[in-house]
Amino acid sequence: MRMVDIIAKKQAGHKLNKAEIEFVIEGFTADKIPDYQMSALAMAIYFQGMTEEEASYLTMAMAESGDQIDLSAIEGVKVDKHSTGGVGDTTTLVLAPLVASCGVPVAKMSGRGLGHTGGTVDKFEAIEGFRYELPIDEFIDLVNRHKVAVVGQSGNLTPADKKLYALRDVTSTVQSIPLIASSIMSKKIAAGADAIVLDVKVGEGAFMKTVEEAEKLAHAMVKIGNQVGRKTLAVISNMNEPLGYAIGNALEVKEAILTLQGKGPEDLTQLCFVLGSQMLMAAGKVNTIEEGKAMLQQQIDNGEALETFRQFVSHQGGNAAIVDDVDLLPQAAYQIELPALEDGVVSHWVANKVGEAAMVLGAGRETKEDTIDPAVGLVLHKKIGDAVKKDDALLTIYSNREDVEDVKQRLYDALTIAQAANPEPLIYNVITE
């Protein structure tokens, strides 16, 4: 087989077979296929697309290009959840204990955050003592005994995807549905998921700018999942403003605790109920979203969800006393309000710009080497559709530095106050097959 023939075949709009796709991914991972040829193939795929079958072969070839986590020692269907990138997306902190409290194992492998999106392990790390660098057998043991554990990404997972993504980034071939879908799915499969629930975000600051694009991506991923024997469901959700009120690590832990107590923000709660119901469906625990929602509500009402969170934090070495006293979480030295400059209605809160403002405060990383300040972040008081008067507090900045003029400027740039706002749905579509 020759790479140049494979490039020509795709360029002409033909379908690649399994052997050809495996040849490409194995050769590229082993540095036998040079970047220039791989770039040419990525561009051909960008223009010609891929069938469901081709995307499935690509997904599995990338999943098998490095280490694969074997979770078969965990009893039950292991459901993983993935978001395409949110700001203030506190859902995993709520869903892990909430779904586990229903008896479904949650073996969550999570990454650290970069840029405007926070990482789940960074959020849990805001809890004093919390350990996420667990050996894989300890992680499996925790899930078997207590139904839930979180571990940081380690090992050499999907090196082919890592290399290809870096290449796509500099060859303008990121925005290709089959390439994005196989990139995401390969990572979930290598991490050991039996079933996958996807939260595909739509918005100005999100990967997918329109509902149509997001639906295409969601359908592509659901089809790949089903082709390779992993039940996959998806939600298309709005990321035109941050989710919930809190953005920042300790602040989001507090928001998650409130949500597990049934006192969380409405949008965050609603999204957790839909994603959580899909996780229960994927695990075969319930048959419909409605049944799932009722089960989750019951676990919040009877206190089991919060109790599972408390136990989970304690099993991972964290100070579980934060559950009863959130003031034990890291606290910022300064709380500074951002006043509205005029009367009106909040019509835009561009989520990625708000996320970048939180990052600049120290809640996130600009480069992989940056350290995070768990105490800092933002708490919104006004969301899209809320009326404001001049000088009302739009949000509170939690900071460990006194001068936050740069952050304020970024936040004003992210915000539009108009005469009226167009309310948008939180959830555009729920894809269950």
**Catalytic machinery residues:** 82, 161, 168, 183, 187
Q: Is 247 in the site for ligand URA (CB under 6 A)?
A: no
Shortest separation between residue 141's beta carbon and ligand URA, angstroms: 29
Q: Is 140 in the site for ligand URA (CB under 6 A)?
A: no
241-280 residues in contact with Ca ion (CB under 5 A) are: 243-244, 246
Intra-chain end-to-end CA distance of the chain, in Å: 37
CB 179 within 8 A of CB 62: no
Contacted by 180, from ligand URA, Ca ion, none: CB < 5 to 8 Å by type: ligand URA
Q: Using the rule CB under 6 A, which residue among 184, 235, 346, 359 binds ligand URA?
A: 184
Cβ nearer to ligand URA, comparing 202 with 340: 202
- Cα–Cα distance between 123 and 422 in angstroms, integer? 32
Q: What is the DSSP letter of 232?
A: E
Cβ nearer to ligand URA, comparing 61 with 127: 61
Q: Using the rule CB under 6 A, which residue among 90, 183, 232, 396 binds ligand URA?
A: 183
C-beta atoms surrounding 20 within 10 Å: 18
187-246 residues in contact with Ca ion (CB under 5 A) are: 243-244, 246
Cβ nearer to Ca ion, comparing 134 with 354: 354
127-to-17, 114, 122, 238, 266 alpha-carbon distances in Å: 48, 20, 9, 29, 24
Q: Using the rule CB under 6 A, which residue among 55, 150, 180, 357 binds ligand URA?
A: 180
Beta bridge pairs of residue 202:
208, 238
356-to-135, 163, 281, 380 alpha-carbon distances in Å: 33, 26, 35, 15
Which range in 90-98, 173-181, 364-372, 403-411 contacts ligand URA by CB under 6 A? 173-181
Q: Say which residue the tokens 């996780």 belong to.
A: 279
Cβ nearer to ligand URA, comparing 165 with 334: 165
Cβ nearer to ligand URA, comparing 174 with 321: 174
- Cα–Cα distance between 167 and 177 in angstroms, integer? 16
Q: Is 90 in the site for Ca ion (CB under 5 A)?
A: yes
Binding residues for ligand URA, rule CB under 6 A, total 7
Contacted by 184, from ligand URA, Ca ion, none: CB < 5 to 8 Å by type: ligand URA
Task: Region of 252 please: left (phi>0), alpha (psi -120 to 50) or beta.
Answer: alpha
C-beta atoms surrounding 14 within 10 Å: 11
* Residues that bind ligand URA in the complex, under the rule CB under 6 A: 165, 174, 179-180, 183-184, 207
